[in-house]
Amino acid sequence: MPLDVHQFPCLSDNYGFLIRDRATGLAACIDTPDAKAILAELGKLGWKLSLILNTHWHPDHAGGNAEVAAATGASSVGPAEVERLIPVDRKVGGGDTVMLGETRFDVIDSGGHTLQHIAYHDAADHVAFVGDTLFALGCGRLFEGDAEQMWASLQRLAALPDDTRVYCAHEYTASNARFALSVDDDPALKARADAVFAARERGEATVPTTIGAEKATNPFLRAPLLAARVGAAGRAAHEAFGTVRAAKDNFKG
């Protein structure tokens, strides 16, 4: 039975996601960027929330947990690091399984942006919620982990089927595209960047993306191929990645 996904923009550039297992009608939210927006969307949909699925501890991801739980009775699932902010009912990490009715999520360790960041993968529906690990044409900043950890996390996501729909937590794609064009002149990237700029002009979301699109055009996943251009020729894959990541951190586009 399919999973319904309802996506809505909130805060300055976050996306909120409400999901529902069609077989049982049970619903969950991915992270809690904005409790009031989540509760308003739930009201519009008429869905009853049973789970909060956190990807990492940052306040724009777990800051609304208390208000959402108090209003809905939902219980929370997330990495232990979320307890830096608020207690979590069930702590999970890579290899664990989370059920929403009949929908199964495999928890994927995607540390690097924060040390215990996780992603939720529903293999049956070809859907992954990746928080701040993988973005359309981008990836999360290395606030806590290092290039080696983040590269390993990105490789775990890149190993998912190409048609996996990837729900990233921020609309950063236009600025990611400007950076990508500065380090890569691949025609597929140019075409995608043009489509991204046009979509944003029209006010359209560029999320979700797919694993296939990211493998083809995301400069962070393509880092080993771009090593020479970023001054990391002959270096290990995670070092090439780290060089591209540092170039993005310093990019004034």
Contacts to Fe ion by CB under 5 A: 60, 132
Q: In this chain, which stretch among 36-44, 62-70, 128-136, 212-220 interacts with Zn ion, using CB under 5 A?
A: 128-136
Closest CB to Fe ion among 109 and 132?
132
Q: Which DSSP symbol is given to 108?
A: E
CA distances from 243 to 21, 106, 120, 189, 201 (A): 41, 31, 28, 19, 31
> Which of Fe ion, Zn ion, none lies near 117, with the C-beta cut-off 5 to 8 A by kind?
none
Closest CB to Zn ion among 3 and 150?
150
Closest CB to Fe ion among 30 and 107?
30
Find the shortest distance in angstroms from Cβ 77 to Zn ion: 17
Contact call for residue 58 and Zn ion (CB under 5 A): yes
Q: In this chain, which stretch among 5-13, 51-59, 87-95, 149-157 interacts with Zn ion, using CB under 5 A?
A: 51-59
Closest CB to Fe ion among 47 and 179?
179
Contact call for residue 121 and Zn ion (CB under 5 A): no
CA distances from 93 to 100, 180, 224 (A): 17, 31, 28
Find the shortest distance in angstroms from Cβ 57 to Zn ion: 8
Type of residue at 47: W
Type of residue at 63: G
Helices (H), the chain: 35-45, 59-62, 65-72, 147-158, 173-183, 187-201, 211-217, 223-226, 237-249
Contact call for residue 117 and Zn ion (CB under 5 A): no
Q: Which residues contact 76 (CB under 8 A, 6 or more apart)?
A: 51, 52, 54, 65, 69, 82, 86, 87, 88, 89, 90
CB count, 10 Å around CB of 161? 12
Contact call for residue 31 and Zn ion (CB under 5 A): no
> Which of Fe ion, Zn ion, none lies near 109, with the C-beta cut-off 5 to 8 A by kind?
none
Q: In this chain, which stretch among 58-66, 67-75, 78-86, 155-163 interacts with Zn ion, using CB under 5 A?
A: 58-66
SS3 category, 50: strand
CA distances from 201 to 192, 196, 252 (A): 14, 9, 21
Closest CB to Fe ion among 114 and 217?
114
Contact call for residue 132 and Zn ion (CB under 5 A): yes
- Beta bridge mates, 52: 29, 76
Find the shortest distance in angstroms from Cβ 15 to Zn ion: 13
The residues of the shown chain that bind Zn ion, judged by CB under 5 A, are 58, 132
